[in-house]
């Protein structure tokens, strides 16, 4: 029978011990904030230079010769500019949906027959998407406009030695997608990072050390049950996670002007996440023979998640096989869910992530409690 009083008793002693241990506090709260400050500073202020523009080229030919594929030449020229990097979008995509799904606002659509019309001297229209409130949209429309003019001039100079009407015109299209900055993405990523590392490392360590030093046996001689013991650790790491969450969001917003949404949809992640990794850490500590092996296995389980589950950089920027691999990492559903809820406002995606996370947590929790032995036989 689970006793709330005993959980509270153990919670008090554990949290007090944790707070007295500067080391744990550093890794639990200070370290993630330092990471935000470092990574935020590195990538702050659009210092990456070029703006990404998503281009959908509907002019798929066929062309008699590659020289006649003016649309591709136009995009290649844009890509060579000092301000823009062109990212190609498959012609089969619904473009505005694509932009919003990827939380980007800058895009360009080249119509079908662009090349043919251009060469025939007939008017063609290019649609440029942008969010007027975003600093990048000016860069994009300016650049695209400039190059369109260049192409127009070029055409008339070569054909008619003349500079009259424009063949390529630009229609602006407004999209409301908030541009995702690196810092916006970094905050959920690093929250995921601390949801993983604090409980995981700590429980791997505690459960293997307590086994070795017979502290578990010692505790088994009291009325405290192993479920109560684990529950108290989980509660502590939920508290720590929420504190870390507030701290990291605060620093991200105040120091770097991050755009992140705080919604109730985040709560399941802040609860399930620490529970999952506390249980996983305990599982590792339980199935291994000694603290040394536990540490090694713990690292083997933790490190791929630390880097490949969308913590420091977006999954979408990784090669396809790593993206596939990421889907087996439990942390992936935490970071994806946090991103969906905080950055993309994608609630249906969030709900799926919560469901997957819930199932994983349940499985790991049951395994940990089943395999974990207070005493030996």
Partner 1 sequence: MLPIEVSGLKKHYGNLKAVDGISFTVNPGEVFGLLGPNGAGKTTTIEIMEGLRERDGGDVKVLGFDPWKNGYELHKKIGVIPQEFTFFEKTTPREAIIYYADLFNVKVNPDEILKEVLLEESAKVNFDSLSGGQKQKTGLALSLVNSPELLFLDEPTTGLDPNARRAIWEVIRGLKAKGKTIILTTHYLDEAQQLCDRVAIMDHGHIVAMGTTEEIIEQHGSGERLEIHGDEKLAEYLKANTDLQVEFNSARREIFITLRKKIDALAALAAAEQSGMEWGQIQTRQDSLDDVFVKLVTEPIGEQGEASTEEKTGKKRRR
Rounded to the nearest 5 percent, the helix, strand and coil shares of the chain are 70, 10, 25
Q: Is 27 in a helix, a strand, or coil?
A: helix
Closer to partner 1 by Cβ: residue 295 or 349 = 295
Closer to partner 1 by Cβ: residue 155 or 210 = 210
Least Cβ distance, residue 16 to partner 1 (angstroms): 7
Chain centroid, CA 336 distance in Å = 6
Closer to partner 1 by Cβ: residue 74 or 210 = 210
Residue 108 contacts residue 53 (beta carbons within 8 Å): yes
Half-sphere exposure of 227 (CA within 13 A, CB side): 6
The Cα 331–Cα 306 span in angstroms is 8
Least Cβ distance, residue 196 to partner 1 (angstroms): 24
Closer to partner 1 by Cβ: residue 201 or 333 = 201
Least Cβ distance, residue 106 to partner 1 (angstroms): 53
The Cα 18–Cα 203 span in angstroms is 12
Least Cβ distance, residue 102 to partner 1 (angstroms): 47
Least Cβ distance, residue 18 to partner 1 (angstroms): 8
Let me know if 61 is exposed, middle or buried by CB neighbors in 10 A (0-12, 13-18, 19+): middle
Note the residues at the interface with partner 1 (CB under 8 A). 5-6, 9-10, 12-14, 16-18, 20-21, 213-215, 217-218, 220-224, 375-377
Closer to partner 1 by Cβ: residue 45 or 223 = 223
Least Cβ distance, residue 357 to partner 1 (angstroms): 31
The Cα 375–Cα 15 span in angstroms is 24
CA angle 206, 266, 245 (to 5 degrees): 55
Task: Quickly count: other Cβ atoms within 10 Å of residue 273's Cβ.
Answer: 29
Closer to partner 1 by Cβ: residue 67 or 376 = 376
């Amino acid at each position: 029978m689970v006793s709330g009083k005993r959980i509270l008793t153990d919670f008090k002693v554990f949290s007090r011990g944790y707070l007295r241990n500067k080391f744990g506090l550093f890794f639990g709260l200070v370290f993630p904030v330092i990471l935000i400050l470092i990574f935020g500073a590195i990538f702050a202020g659009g210092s990456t230079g070029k703006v990404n523009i998503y281009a959908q080229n509907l002019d798929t030919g066929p062309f008699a010769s590659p020289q006649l594929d003016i649309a591709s030449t136009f995009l290649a020229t844009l890509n060579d500019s000092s301000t823009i990097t062109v990212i190609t979008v498959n012609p089969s995509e619904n473009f505005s949906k694509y932009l919003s799904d990827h939380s980007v606002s800058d895009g360009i659509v080249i119509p079908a027959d662009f090349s043919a019309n251009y060469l025939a001297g007939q008017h063609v229209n290019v649609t440029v998407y942008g969010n007027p409130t975003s600093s990048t949209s000016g860069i994009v429309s300016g650049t695209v406009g400039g190059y369109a003019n260049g192409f127009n001039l070029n055409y008339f100079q070569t054909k008619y030695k003349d500079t009259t009407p424009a063949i390529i015109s630009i229609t602006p299209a407004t999209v409301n997608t908030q541009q995702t900055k690196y810092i916006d993405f970094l905050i959920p990523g690093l929250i995921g990072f601390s949801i993983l590392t604090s409980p995981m490392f700590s429980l791997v360590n505690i459960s293997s050390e307590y086994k070795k030093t017979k502290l578990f046996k010692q505790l088994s001689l009291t009325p405290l049950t192993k479920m109560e013991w684990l529950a108290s650790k989980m509660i502590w790491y939920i508290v720590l996670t929420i504190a870390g969450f507030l701290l990291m969001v605060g620093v991200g917003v105040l120091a770097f002007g991050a755009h992140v949404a705080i919604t109730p949809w985040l709560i399941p992640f802040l609860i399930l996440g620490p529970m999952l990794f506390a249980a996983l850490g305990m599982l590792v500590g339980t199935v291994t023979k000694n603290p040394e092996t536990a540490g090694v296995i713990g690292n083997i389980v933790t490190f791929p998640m630390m880097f490949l589950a969308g913590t420091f950089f977006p999954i979408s920027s990784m090669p396809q096989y790593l993206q596939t691999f990421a889907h087996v990492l439990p942390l992936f559903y935490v970071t994806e869910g946090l991103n969906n809820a905080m950055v993309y406002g994608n609630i249906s995606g969030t709900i799926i992530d919560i469901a997957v996370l819930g199932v994983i947590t349940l499985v790991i929790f049951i395994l940990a409690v089943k395999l974990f032995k207070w005493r030996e036989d």
